[in-house]
Amino acid sequence: MRKDVLIIDDEPAIRRLLIGALDRAGIAHVEAATAAEALRIASAAPAPLVALLDLGLPDRDGLEVVPQLAALGLSVIVLTARDATEEKVAALDLGADDFVTKPFDSEELLARIRSALRRKAGPLSTTARREFAGGHIDRDAHEVVVRGEHVDLTPREFDLLWTLADHPGRVVTHERLLELVWGPAHRHDLNYLRVAVRSLRRKLEPNPSAPQLIINEPGVGYRVAG
């Protein structure tokens, strides 16, 4: 039987807690205490869909495992400390989908896991249309609809919204966004991104100073509410 979630953590107590939470939520799971064990499970068929990865592993640097799990088709959610900004950015750049900071709130954690599972379960979107909370963006029709109304965006804003919506619910790092939308030469021109996000929020958010749609993780990147 397919296990949906692979728990990778060397702390038995944390593992037991995560198991409890997943049990109560009715999500099937399998666990690993080391990187080696995790990779073995992830390579076996049927592979789990989502990996919950604690970066502090006894046998390997957690960051090394991220790209390997991602390559095996798993959606990786990293467990990190709140102040470990660089670690988060590195994990995301290496292919992780998301991160949850410790000590975690089980509700929040389950919401992230469900979101990831949903993305995995849904058919790989081949169309030019992406959904997000309260609206959608269509690349072919060059159309953005929010709360039933058309919104006019500049080409740059359109590209930005598309890039974010293409990774629904996932954090895209600042640098990656700049690279994809403005080009590699502008990887560090964070100011461009800030200004564009502002103007996008003004056009999309009901209250731009309390954003609900385009959420920032300070020092890490942006996510669009899925």
Partner 1 sequence: MDEPRPANDAERFLRLAQREERGRLTVYLGAAPGVGKTYRMLQEAARRQAEGLDVLVGVAETHGRSDTAALLEPFEVLPRRAIAYQGHTLDEFDIDAALERRPGLILVDELAHTNAPGSRHPKRWQDVAELLVSGIDVATTLNIQHIESLNDLVAGFTHVRVRETVPDSILDSAEIIVVDLPPEALIERLRAGKVYLADTAGQALTNFFTPSKLAALRELALRFAAGSVDRRLTDQLALAGDEGDYAVGERILVAVSPGKGGAQVIRHAKRLADLAYAPWTAVVVESGGARGVVGEQREQLAENLALASSLGAALMTVAATDVAQALVDQARELRASQIVIGKSRRSRWFEWRHGSIAQDVIRKARGIAVQIVPLEDADERPARTSDYHPWRAPLSALVIVAATVGPVFAAQGWLPRGAIDMLLLVPVIIAASLLRTYAGLWAAGFAALAYNYFFTEPRFTLIINDTADVITFVVLALVASVIGALAGKVRRQAETSAGVARLNASLARFAGLLGGLSDREDTARVACREIGALLDVEAIIVSLEGDRLTVRGNPAHGALSLVDEAAARWTLERGEVTGRDTGTLNASDWQFHPLQTALGIMGALGVARPEQGRIIRADDATLLASLIDQTALAHERLVLEDEARQVGTLRERDRLRGALLGSIAHDLRTPLTSVIAAAEAIPAEGAYAEEVLIARSEARRLQRFLGDLLEASRIEDGGVKPRIESIDLTDVIHAVLRDLRQNREGGRVVTRIPDDGPLIASDPVLLRHALINLVDNALKFSPETSVVEIVLECDSSHVTCRVLDRGPGLPAQHDGLFERFARLEGSDRVGGTGLGLWIAKNLVEAVGGVISADNRPDGGAEFAVRLPASNSRTEPANA
Query: Under the rule (CB under 8 A), what is the footprint of partner 1?
Result: 11, 13-14, 17, 20-21, 24, 81-83, 85, 102-106, 154, 156-157, 182, 189-192, 194-199, 202, 208-211, 215-219
CB of 158 to partner 1, least distance (A): 12
Nearer to partner 1, 68 or 170 (CB): 170
Which of 141, 195 has the CB closer to partner 1? 195
Whole-number Cα distances in Å, 75 to 136, 138, 139, 179, 210 = 23, 25, 25, 22, 29
Q: How far apart are CA 172 and CA 96, in angstroms?
A: 10
**Which CB, 61 or 83, lies closer to partner 1?**
83
Shortest gap between Cβ of 101 and partner 1 (angstroms)?
9
- The CA distance from 72 to 113, in Å, is 18
We find the least distance from the C-beta atom of residue 8 to partner 1, in angstroms, to be 15
> Of 118 and 198, which has the nearer Cβ to partner 1?
198
Token couple for 141: 């029709």
Length, in residues, of the chain: 226
Minimum separation from the CB atom of position 79 to partner 1 (A): 9
Nearest approach in angstroms of CB 106 to partner 1 is 6
Of 101, 44, 106, 100, which Cα lies nearest the Cα of 74? 44
Tokens of 142: 């060059």
Q: What is the CA radius of gyration of the chain?
A: 18
- Residue 117 is encoded by which pair of tokens? 């599972």
Beta bridge partners of 54: 79
Closer to partner 1 by Cβ: residue 64 or 86: 86
